[in-house]
Amino acid sequence: MAGRNVRNTRIASRAVRAAAAAACATLVLAACGSTKDSVSSGGGGTGKVGVILPLLTSPFWQSYNDYVPKMAKSEGVDALKTVNSNSDPSQQITDINNQLNQGVKGLVVAPLDSAAIAAGLDQAERKGVPVVAVDVAPEKGKVAMVVRANNVAYGEKACEYLGKQIPSGKVVQIMGDLASVNGRDRSEAFRTCVQKNYPKLKVLEIPAKWESDTAASKLDTLLNANPDIKGIYMQAGGVYLAPTLQTLKSKGMLKKTGEAGHITIVSNDGIPQEFDAIRKGEIDATVSQPADAYAKYGMYYIKAAMQGKTFKTGPTDHDSEIVKLPSGILEDQLPAPLVTKDNVDDPKLWGNTVK
């Protein structure tokens, strides 16, 4: 967590170090990624917080948007109404500037482009306004924390699931926007895992930029040339689920689990629509990206940053780990479980709490 360390008295410091030693051996409490005691020790108001969304055409981001005011209230954050950048990186920079001109004291932003977002981050830094990035890590620029799941693990989990189900043959990777670190992480992790662990699988790739129409069109073309595909990895169920299923259905290729000719499908997001598709046997698995936790810890970290709190690498008190990225930015990597027919009805999954 970027910011200034809280100044405690020597007695309080000794107490904190003693408590930390019990919990984390030689690390101080903040170094363990605590999100309880280290924040509650601060005080005072924090001011208005702007929240900028990347898009609202995906059920995942619609759910995140619904969680924002609830989590802001529970975390004691005065959040303004969310702003939708509508899949336009340049518009997102304008949105950041507009929020800064309104006098916000903190920003929670889900970047569309890992590189382009630097312009907005620079503007915020010049005005002394801390920023928390959600879902996507910037390539450069100052942020207090990145709240994100391990996207490399997304690609690896999809690879392992497909590899265990399909001994050989063609699998399709419907990729996200490669201008986003998420798209790059998932794509490279999936590709590398298949090459290393499942060499009898051949990966065919569709760059789809998180666009449903692009995914549908390119998948249709690919299936015409490769009607023998055996698996599909969709990097974003929120935008790719419906067009993928519709494309397969139109070609008579949508077979349910257990039926001859079934194409094994793994997705990312954890939205209710994916869970329904798993229950129906239309897809086989998804990685649940924690929309609720993204909203919760986005609010938590921006409040902490506005109060001058600091975090270091290490395990947290909410089953995640804070790591340092190659850029030097800290990232809280939240849990993202694989969901299959065996656990799809787990009430703890956020996708089962959304109406």
CATH number of the CATH domain containing 302: 3.40.50.2300
- Band of the pLDDT at 2, cuts 50, 70, 90? very low
Question: Which pLDDT score is estimated for 229?
Answer: 98
Please indicate, yes or no, if residue 329 is contained in any of the structural domains: yes
Question: Which pLDDT score is estimated for 6?
Answer: 35
Check pLDDT > 70 for residue 145. Answer: yes
pLDDT tens sequence across 256-271: 999 999 999 999 999 9
Query: Which of residues 260, 288, 316 is at a domain's end?
Result: 288
| Rounded average pLDDT over 213-237 | 98
Please indicate, yes or no, if residue 205 is contained in any of the structural domains: yes
Kindly state whether residues 319 and 211 are assigned to the same domain.
no
d(CA 75, CA 82): 16
Question: Which pLDDT score is estimated for 1?
Answer: 38
Please indicate, yes or no, if residue 318 is contained in any of the structural domains: yes
Kindly state whether residues 280 and 162 are assigned to the same domain.
yes
Kindly state whether residues 279 and 185 are assigned to the same domain.
yes
Please indicate, yes or no, if residue 347 is contained in any of the structural domains: no
Kindly state whether residues 317 and 274 are assigned to the same domain.
no
CB 245 within 8 A of CB 273: no
- Band of the pLDDT at 288, cuts 50, 70, 90? very high
Question: Which pLDDT score is estimated for 321?
Answer: 96
Kindly state whether residues 196 and 307 are assigned to the same domain.
no
Please indicate, yes or no, if residue 346 is contained in any of the structural domains: no
Kindly state whether residues 163 and 250 are assigned to the same domain.
yes
Please indicate, yes or no, if residue 298 is contained in any of the structural domains: yes
Query: Which of residues 248, 269, 288 is at a domain's end?
Result: 288
d(CA 78, CA 118): 25
Greater pLDDT, 241 or 25: 241
What domain range is 117 assigned to? 10-149+292-336
Question: Which pLDDT score is estimated for 65?
Answer: 98
d(CA 217, CA 224): 11
- Band of the pLDDT at 16, cuts 50, 70, 90? very low
Check pLDDT > 80 for residue 91. Answer: yes
Kindly state whether residues 139 and 22 are assigned to the same domain.
yes
Kindly state whether residues 165 and 232 are assigned to the same domain.
yes
- CB-based contacts of 231, cutoff 8 Å, min separation 6: 162, 165, 166, 169, 170, 171, 172, 201, 263, 264, 265, 266
Kindly state whether residues 14 and 142 are assigned to the same domain.
yes
- Band of the pLDDT at 310, cuts 50, 70, 90? confident
Check pLDDT > 60 for residue 137. Answer: yes
d(CA 335, CA 209): 25
Kindly state whether residues 77 and 118 are assigned to the same domain.
yes
Kindly state whether residues 232 and 314 are assigned to the same domain.
no
Tokens of 160: 């392992």
Please indicate, yes or no, if residue 354 is contained in any of the structural domains: no
Q: What is the mean pLDDT of the chain?
A: 89
Question: Domain tally for the chain?
Answer: 2
Kindly state whether residues 186 and 275 are assigned to the same domain.
yes
Please indicate, yes or no, if residue 228 is contained in any of the structural domains: yes
- Band of the pLDDT at 8, cuts 50, 70, 90? very low
